[in-house]
Amino acid sequence: MKIRFTLKAVAFLISGLFMLSACNKDQKLIADIEGEYKIESVINYRNGEGTPVIFSGGRIFFQDCTMKDGVGGNCEGWYEFEGSTKVAFQYNTRKEKGFNLIAITNLSSAGTPAILGSFKFKKDGGDLILDGIEQSGGADGVINTWYSDIRLSK
């Protein structure tokens, strides 16, 4: 009986350490991107076609926070473009299939331009590059897919 208990305890400890290391990887991604950036450009392609819509001249801020066991969107931030109000958002990060991913969800009503969706991201020196897809539906029920390329600098 004592051996059985010890094996269960070891298995529990190993699974706990595995989960903790997975969370630490996601937490490290947050530490890599936290802070305020200048928005160099946001390039959106509607449905992957046509002339891109390009925005620039703003700021975005990713708060350094502690993620909570896979709960989506528990870190906060904001962005603003020149001449517009601040938009609050929540975000989370994770590593999946060799990519660094960030999901951004707006908390307040976002005007145009909007930064939200799921993005692959990478650091290039002090710059942060996000490539991703946002889907939005209009009142007519049509789903539009926006492909975004976002360039940020420290």
- CATH no. for residue 30? 2.40.128
Helix residue spans in the chain (DSSP H): 2-33
The DSSP secondary-structure symbol of 72 reads T
| Overall pTM > 0.75 | no
42: containing domain: 2-153
Specify the amino acid at residue 6.
T
How far is residue 89's CA from residue 55's CA, in Å, rounded to a whole number? 19
pLDDT in tens, the chain (154 residues): 444 444 444 333 333 333 333 445 566 788 889 999 999 988 877 766 666 778 878 999 999 887 665 555 578 999 998 888 888 998 888 888 889 998 888 776 656 677 888 889 998 888 999 988 766 555 666 666 778 888 999 9
Tokens 């290039």 label which residue? 124
How far is residue 141's CA from residue 126's CA, in Å, rounded to a whole number? 40
Measured between alpha carbons, how far is residue 79 from residues 54, 82, 136 in Å?
A: 16, 10, 19
How far is residue 151's CA from residue 141's CA, in Å, rounded to a whole number? 31
